[in-house]
Chain A
Amino acid sequence: MTLKPSPRYYWIGIGLFALFFLGGYYMGGNSLVVKHVLTILKPFFKKIIGDNSDLHVLLSILLNNTIKAFAVVLFGFFFWIFPSFFVLVNGGIVGFITRIFLDRGGTFLLLTAALLPHGIFEGAAFFIALAYSFWLSTRFMRKLTHAEPFRPYFYAALRAYAKIILPLLIIAAVIETFVTPLIMGWVQ
């Protein structure tokens, strides 16, 4: 019995992300949508950047991401709903922001500097969490339709969260807090 998702689950996550990224990118080109969305979102963004200490930012990013990743893994069993919605929102927002940033004169280099250093680790954690989530969903359906055991898969997913996803998120949060701003400064 293999207690890890097969590659196709990773490809499903990556594919859906790419799809919703393109959707977000497309929406980012609509000035009315942009205006409306930014009116709502900008105050939140400003609050996030605020005058918080590095440690505060680090802990906030880490806490936020670990909880969300855990939720993805944990609720994945429920018929793909949560991971699908999760990847829709995240892919869409990344595409949306990318479009706005590039449309307004931002360079691809700066965009890469902002996303890539920590994104390598956070993206990996994100797609692993999604893969386990989709995989658990399939296993849960097998349990309902074929009365196959589900618990070992669930525990395997939790172990993967603790051993792989969580460390990746910690590394990503550290890089995002301390390294990304420096690189963005250099690039600018």
Chain B
Amino acid sequence: MLILNASTTGSTSTARHDRRITSKVPPQRDFSFSSAHARLIIMATEYAMTVGLEIHVELKTNTKMFCNCLNDPDEKRPNSLICPVCCGSPGTLPTINKEAINKIVKVGLALNCAIARYSKFDRKNYFYPDLPKGYQISQYDLPLCFGGKLAISPDKTVRIERIHMEEDAGRLQHGNDDKHSLVDYNRAGVPLMELVTKPDITSSEQIGQFAKELRLILRHLGASDADMEKGQMRVEVNISIRPKGAQDLGTKVEVKNINSISAAMKAAEYEFKRQVEALERGDTIVQETRGWDDTNNSTYSQRIKEGSADYRYFPEPDLPPLTFTDERIAELRAELPELPSQRRERFMREYGLNAAQVEVFTTARHLGDYFENVVSELGLSAQVGKPELDTLAANYIITEFPPLMEAKGLEIDDLGGLKITAENFAELVAKISNKELSSTAAKTVLKEMSETGDDPDAIMQRLNLGQISDASALTDAVDDVISTNPKPVEQYKAGKTEVLKFLVGKVMAATKGKGNPEIIMELLKQKLT
């Protein structure tokens, strides 16, 4: 409720009086609505974004979904991976790719979905040149997986409505002269998983989080490389807006042609803004399919959205239904690898790594596996029970390996090309930890290891890089620096302690970086007091 004073609307004498009285009210209350009214009006006039995602993922299988043609996304020769089955020649019959079915079920299990005990394929009828059969084999009312969820942050979970199996269409290439188009059916019939989320996403950031986490899971499962730039994962954003206080969802607009996660986020932001402006102008939102224009960072109307009736779905007569027993599902569940969320939790628990380090080792899985091998080697070399070694190893892998790999033109998962075995690297980490090597020298040794594949001992010997930690061996250099730098010495004695670092640096230079800085600092302190 409210008690609203006339001072907000008029200039009567009483209002003036009241303004004087209320001058002691805190500034944000100078307008005298009660907070409940403020909340109501904000809820009525500010808009919330509601997003559901449809994500198509090409599965990584040996052959296509319903024939024996190879499923090779890297094949560049057009129409070289086709056969009468995937081209829909009359008289041909499809057969179901078991590998694809197993993979999609595993994805469903990884996403906490229920697996249908009985499922079937349906024909989705539409005409388009990239669809050689004139219909697409898909699933309509009985998807393989349904009712899952994916946690994208500690406080946000997105529900998954369904995951179903279908076949991909071919690829069209339109000529510049508007007179002809080229079609490549290599992709036609490739196993395609479609995942549909509930409209639980409320921001563009959450779109990014969901897509990245899903991609990570797909890669961990080996279900797909999910490379969006290659079209292996295609995100469609179904977005609607509504006033924050409204219960019913607004009109849904589907945005397609999105080729990266960041583009999906940008598309949602653009659409949100466009729809808010339209409603504020008094226009209505039309249910339609829009395309994403990456060049102009905007969407454009493509077509009015079809309903499912337009596709005239009916059960696929050439394929048998699919049935799953509890035992079969249990077998597939047992084959699931460690999932990203499990890996994060384990890396934190077992190695005491921080969230950022864990994220690197989860996303760049090969680096994580390598790290675990190094930790294992450190354990074998009786360094067990030293968690700081794990952290040290993690830091060096995360900060030093990527530049070394980049310099050699290696991909992040091509650790073999780096020539640094886990055993040698563990030895290096132990030496750094034991102060046999300074950090500067360690980098030199690491670089040499990546070039030659030699072990650290051999390199240290060859380059004469061992760290000098023997105080007696450093005394001469320390004495020399004290005698040749009288001014800093005087300043230190006068209480300017930061000068000590300068003197340490001088001794380090004198020992060509081999002196142990901690020992040097101790020696300097002893001699200057």
Interface residues of A (CB under 8 A from B): 31, 38, 41-42, 44-50, 52, 56-57, 59-61, 63-65, 67-69, 71-72, 75, 78, 81-82, 85-86, 89-90, 93-94, 97, 100-101, 103-107, 110-111, 114-115, 118-119, 122-123, 126, 172, 176-177, 180-181, 184, 188
Contacts and interface: CB of A to CB of B under 8 A. Distances in A.
B403 to A, nearest CB: 43
A60 B28 CA distance: 8
A31 to B, nearest CB: 6
A105 B1 contact: no
Given A67-B18, A114-B40, 20 more contacts: A38-B45, A56-B26, A60-B25, A60-B26, A64-B25, A64-B29, A75-B14, A86-B5, A89-B4, A93-B4, A94-B1, A94-B37, A101-B40, A103-B44, A104-B245, A105-B243, A107-B246, A107-B247, A114-B36, A115-B1
Contacts of B39: 49, 114, 181, 184
14 contacts: A47-B28, A49-B35, A52-B28, A60-B28, A67-B22, A71-B18, A72-B3, A89-B8, A97-B40, A105-B245, A106-B44, A106-B245, A118-B36, A122-B3
A68 B28 contact: no
B248 interface: yes
A71 B14 contact: yes
A106 B246 contact: yes
B28 A50 contact: yes
Given A68-B18, A176-B35, A94 B2 contact: yes
B43 interface: yes
Contacts, number: 166
Contact of B3 (A31, A50, A64, A114): A64
Nearest to A47: B28
Q: How large is the interface on B (under 10, 10 to 19, 20 to 34, 35 or more residues)?
A: 35 or more
A48 B38 contact: yes
A48 B32 CA distance: 9
Contacts of B21: 67, 71
B41 interface: yes
Which 5 A-B pairs have CB atoms at the shortest separation, nearest pair first? A105-B246, A119-B1, A44-B31, A122-B1, A106-B245
Given A71-B14, A93-B2, A106 B26 contact: no
Nearest to A101: B44
B127 to A, nearest CB: 39
Given A48-B35, A94-B2, A89 B25 contact: no
Given A97-B40, A114-B40, A48 B4 contact: no
Secondary structure type dominating chain A contacts: helix
B43 to A, nearest CB: 6
Contact of B34 (A75, A85, A176): A176
B2 A90 contact: yes
Contacts of A176: 34-36
A68 B45 CA distance: 27
A172 B1 contact: yes
Contacts of A122: 1-3, 34
A114 B37 CA distance: 8
B40 A106 contact: yes
A45 B12 CA distance: 24
Given A57-B35, A86-B6, A177-B35, A64 B22 contact: yes
Given A68-B5, A101-B43, A176-B34, A31 B282 contact: yes
A69 B5 CA distance: 9
